[in-house]
Amino acid sequence: MSYPILEYDPEKVAMIEPSKVIQPRDVPEHCVICFFEEVIQKVSVQKNAKIVVENRWEDGPHRLFEIEHHGQRLAYFHSAVGAAQAASLLEEAIAYGCRKFIVCGGCGVLEKGITVGNLIVAKSAVRDEGVSYHYLPPAREVLADPRGVAALEAALKQRGEFRYRLGKTWTTDAPYRETPAKIARRRDEGCLVVEMEAAGLMAVAQFRNAALGQILYSGDDLSGDEWNCRNWQSRQDVREALFWLAAEACFNL
């Protein structure tokens, strides 16, 4: 092939195969992957969380925690930004023994009128990153796991307090190269939002036959002539509520 990123290899066993280098642990099968560090810290203190895996990387710890929620065991961890590291952390969580995942994070909006805090359940992702091409044959999009979508919708409908949409997301490796032309192109093909991990996480979950869904809350605005941060990271109420919504959805898997 002319481009290495398109040289998909269907070989199932890699040189560094997670199941061969990671010792399985007694961990919950249900796991929330959360991008909000302050929520992770608050939940860990309030629920007297147990660290089941220390899992220290060069950038610091990415501990796998466990709590009891609604009488069931629940694992969770703080993911890293960017598909490459987020996907590798998911690989490790699967190797430790987690099998059912709900991901909660933030995103930028591409469509006018999507206000801060609105929720998007990802039903597919445009693969404008690198990780997914190592797990799935080349294609423009990856579809979300229907089990994850159904689990999230069930939790949202049961709660009844959140407005949400099912939609397509644009996963990119380069937030500082989201040019007006690219934004317009992605919007024209139906993308509501943009983020940096969904396509990679979906691809890993498919490859490992793990159940996974992802819900995003609307943050900064890229739909106009100028970028608007909208102070989106200050929405502590939404961020914490999203973690517990993800936990409930995870138990629906």
9 in a structural domain: no
229: phi then psi, degrees, rounded to nearest 5: -65, -35
7 in a structural domain: no
4 in a structural domain: no
- Beta-bridge partners for 32: 76, 102
CB 153 within 8 A of CB 196: no
130 in a structural domain: yes
CB 30 within 8 A of CB 98: yes
Q: Total domain count for the chain?
A: 1
What domain range includes position 107? 20-251
What pLDDT was estimated at residue 60? 83
pTM value? 0.95
13 in a structural domain: no
- Tens place of pLDDT for every residue, the chain, 253 residues? 689 999 999 999 999 999 999 999 999 999 999 999 999 999 999 999 999 999 888 888 899 999 999 999 999 999 999 999 999 999 999 999 999 999 999 999 999 999 988 999 999 999 999 999 999 999 999 999 999 999 999 999 998 888 899 999 999 999 999 999 999 999 999 999 999 999 999 999 999 999 999 999 999 999 999 999 988 877 788 899 999 999 999 999 9
234 in a structural domain: yes
**CATH value at residue 222:** 3.40.50.1580
Cα separation of 172 and 194, whole Å? Answer: 7
What pLDDT was estimated at residue 1? 64
